[in-house]
C-alpha cells in the first residue's frame, strides 16, 4: 500500500494552519486558532463518509468508522492532537520535500544555515532513500502531531472505501492542547465508547511506546527582605539571588540535558522576580515513581539548607501532580501491546518499544479508563526548526493502523 501522495497532501494542508497552543492561557482550547483545523477535520470526516461526526463545545472532534464484521468486537480508538508546541513559531509553515534522500546534508534553509544530517540527528540514518519533509527554516514543521492527523484521516478514508477489510467499530478522536498538558482535560471517555485506543503521536518508524514519565510541577516561592544596599549587611534577603542559589544547587547530572532513556530529571523552566519576591517554576520527571519522590526529597533538602543559610527569607516549595506512567495501566492488558507489536511486524518493521521522555494524551486517557499506548508517525526533532518527518515512515504508520484494525477482530 502506498499512501504517500495522500499523506503529504493532508500534512501540507494541516501544517499551513497555525495551531500553536498557549501554556499561559486560561481558556480551553488555549487558542481559538486551533478550532480552525478542528472544524476542517470535522468537515473532512463528514465528506469521506464517517459516521457520528461531532465537534463538541470543548473543540474535541470525534467520529466512527462502522464495523465490517458481525458479532461483538472490541471498539478501537485512534487519536491525534491538532496543536503545535509553543516552543517555536507555527505561523506561515512552508513544508518542503527532500525526495529519496541519499545521505549527506539536507538543507532546510541556506539563509539561516540550517542543515540536517546524521551527525546532528543520528535517527535520520534509518531513513536513507526515503522522502523527508521539513519546514523552510523559519518555523517548526508541525508533524507533531499533524502527521498523526494525516495518517488517521488517510486510514479512515481508505477503510471507508474498502469494506472488504475486516474490522470492528473504530472511533476517531482529535484533540487540542496536548502540548500544554491539557489535551484530554474535558474528554468524555464514556461517550467516546472505545475499549482500547492508540495515540498516533510517536517518532521514528517502528517505535512504539507503552510508558511515559511520571510528572509533577515544581514551584519555589521566595519572599525576601528589601533594604537600602548601603545598610544591607545582616539585614537584606535578596529573593532573586536566593532563587538563583537554589537553582544552582541542583545537581548537574539530574538535568534534562545530561540524562536519557529512563533517567529522570528536574528542570527549572522559569525564574522571575526581584529583591522582595522571586518565583521559580519547573518540572520533575521520572519513569519510576519512587525515584521521582526521591528526587523531590532531594530538592526539599536543598531548600531546607537554603532556609538555614538565609534566615531572613521565607522559602516555600510545592509539587503538583501532572500525570503518571501509563504502563501501570497498560501492562494489565497484555493484548493491547501484543496486537500492536503484531501489527508493526506485519508492516515489515521490527518493533522498538521505548519509553516516552515526556507526556502523552495516552497517559491521562489510560488513567481515565481508556488504555492508550503510542504509535510512531515517522518523524523526529519535534518542537523546533530542525523538525522532520519521513513520508515512508508515515506510510508505514498507516499500514500499522490498518493491521491493528484487523488484529482486533481476531
Q: Residue 101: which residues within 8 A CB-CB, separation 6 or more?
A: 127, 128, 129, 130, 131, 132
Query: pLDDT category, 40, cuts 50, 70, 90?
Result: very high
Query: For the chain, which domains are there?
Result: 4-211+325-407 (3.40.630.10), 214-322 (3.30.70.360)
Chain segment 125-150, per-residue pLDDT in tens: 999 999 999 999 999 999 999 999 99
Q: Which of 144, 145, 178, 179 is catalytic?
A: 178
**Closest listed residue to residue 144, CA positions, set 191, 85, 192, 99:** 85
Q: Collapse the DSSP code of 251 into the 3-class scheme (helix H, G, I; strand E, B; otherwise coil) and give the result.
A: coil
For residues 246-264, give the mean pLDDT. Answer: 96
What percent of the chain has pLDDT above 90?
A: 96
| Cα-Cα end-to-end distance for the chain | 22
pLDDT in tens, 61-120: 999 999 999 999 999 999 999 999 999 999 999 999 999 999 999 999 999 999 999 999
Task: Answer yes or no: 276 catalytic.
Answer: no
- Cβ-proximal residues to 341 (8 Å cutoff; 6+ apart), any chain: 208, 351, 353
Query: Which residues are bridge partners to 380 per DSSP?
Result: 388
Among 66-70, 180-184, 279-283, the least confident range: 180-184
The pLDDT, as a whole number, for residue 358 is 81
Task: Give the separation between CA 312 and CA 297, rounded to whole angstroms.
Answer: 23
Q: Per-residue pLDDT for 23 more than 90?
A: no
| Active-site residue identified among 18, 83, 210, 387 | 83
**What does the alpha-carbon distance between residue 148 and residue 146 come to, in Å, rounded to a whole number?**
5
- Give the pTM: 0.89
157 is catalytic: no
Overall average pLDDT of the 25-36 stretch: 97
Segment 385-396 mean pLDDT:
98
306 pLDDT higher than 90: yes
Positive or negative: CA dihedral 363, 365, 367, 370: negative
Number of residues that this document lists for the chain: 410
Statement: residue 322 has pLDDT above 90: no
pLDDT at 408: 98
Contacting residues for 238 by C-beta, under 8 A, at least 6 apart = 224, 275
323: confidence class by pLDDT, cuts 50, 70, 90: confident
pLDDT of 356 higher than 90: no
Alpha carbon distance 119, 116 (integer Å): 8
Amino acid at each position: 500500500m502506498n499512501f504517500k501522495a495522500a499523506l503529504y497532501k493532508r500534512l501540507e494542508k494541516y501544517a499551513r494552519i497555525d495551531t500553536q497552543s498557549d501554556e499561559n492561557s486560561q481558556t480551553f482550547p488555549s487558542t481559538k486558532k486551533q478550532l480552525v483545523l478542528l472544524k476542517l477535520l470535522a468537515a473532512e470526516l463528514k465528506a469521506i463518509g464517517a459516521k457520528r461526526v461531532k465537534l463538541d463545545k470543548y473543540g474535541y472532534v470525534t467520529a466512527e468508522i462502522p464495523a465490517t464484521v458481525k458479532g461483538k468486537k472490541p471498539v478501537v480508538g485512534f487519536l491525534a492532537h491538532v496543536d503545535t508546541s509553543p516552543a517555536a513559531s507555527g505561523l506561515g509553515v512552508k513544508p518542503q520535500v527532500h525526495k529519496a534522500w541519499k545521505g549527506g546534508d539536507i538543507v532546510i534553509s541556506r539563509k539561516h544555515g540550517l542543515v540536517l544530517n546524521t551527525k546532528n540527528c543520528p535517527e535520520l540514518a534509518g531513513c536513507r532513500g526515503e522522502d523527508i519533509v521539513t519546514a523552510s527554516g523559519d518555523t517548526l514543521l508541525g508533524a507533531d502531531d499533524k502527521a498523526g492527523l494525516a495518517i488517521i484521516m488517510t486510514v479512515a478514508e481508505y477503510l471507508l472505501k474498502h469494506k472488504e477489510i475486516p474490522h470492528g467499530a473504530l472511533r476517531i478522536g482529535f484533540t487540542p492542547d496536548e502540548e500544554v498538558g491539557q489535551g484530554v482535560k474535558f474528554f468524555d471517555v464514556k461517550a467516546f465508547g472505545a475499549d482500547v485506543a492508540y495515540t498516533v503521536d510517536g517518532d521514528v518508524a517502528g517505535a512504539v511506546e507503552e510508558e511515559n514519565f511520571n510528572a509533577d510541577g515544581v514551584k519555589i516561592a521566595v519572599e525576601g527582605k528589601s533594604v537600602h544596599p548601603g545598610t544591607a549587611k545582616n539585614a537584606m534577603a535578596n529573593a532573586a539571588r536566593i532563587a538563583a542559589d537554589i537553582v544552582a544547587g541542583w545537581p548537574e547530572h539530574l538535568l534534562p540535558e545530561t540524562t536519557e532513556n529512563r533517567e529522570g530529571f528536574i528542570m527549572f523552566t522559569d525564574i522571575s522576580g526581584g529583591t522582595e519576591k522571586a518565583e521559580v517554576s519547573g518540572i520533575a520527571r521520572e519513569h519510576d515513581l519512587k525515584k521521582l519522590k526521591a528526587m523531590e526529597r532531594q530538592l526539599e533538602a536543598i531548600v531546607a539548607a537554603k532556609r538555614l543559610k538565609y534566615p531572613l527569607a521565607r522559602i516555600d516549595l510545592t509539587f503538583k501532580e501532572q500525570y503518571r506512567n501509563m504502563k501501570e495501566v497498560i501492562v494489565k492488558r497484555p493484548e493491547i501491546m501484543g496486537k500492536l507489536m503484531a501489527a508493526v511486524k506485519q508492516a515489515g518493521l521490527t518493533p522498538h518499544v521505548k519509553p516516552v521522555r515526556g507526556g502523552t494524551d495516552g497517559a491521562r486517557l489510560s488513567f481515565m479508563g481508556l488504555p492508550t499506548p503510542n504509535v510512531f508517525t515517522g518523524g523526529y526533532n519535534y518542537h523546533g526548526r530542525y523538525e522532520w518527518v519521513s513520508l515512508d515512515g508515515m506510510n508505514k504508520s498507516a499500514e500499522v493502523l490498518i493491521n491493528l484494525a484487523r488484529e482486533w477482530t481476531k
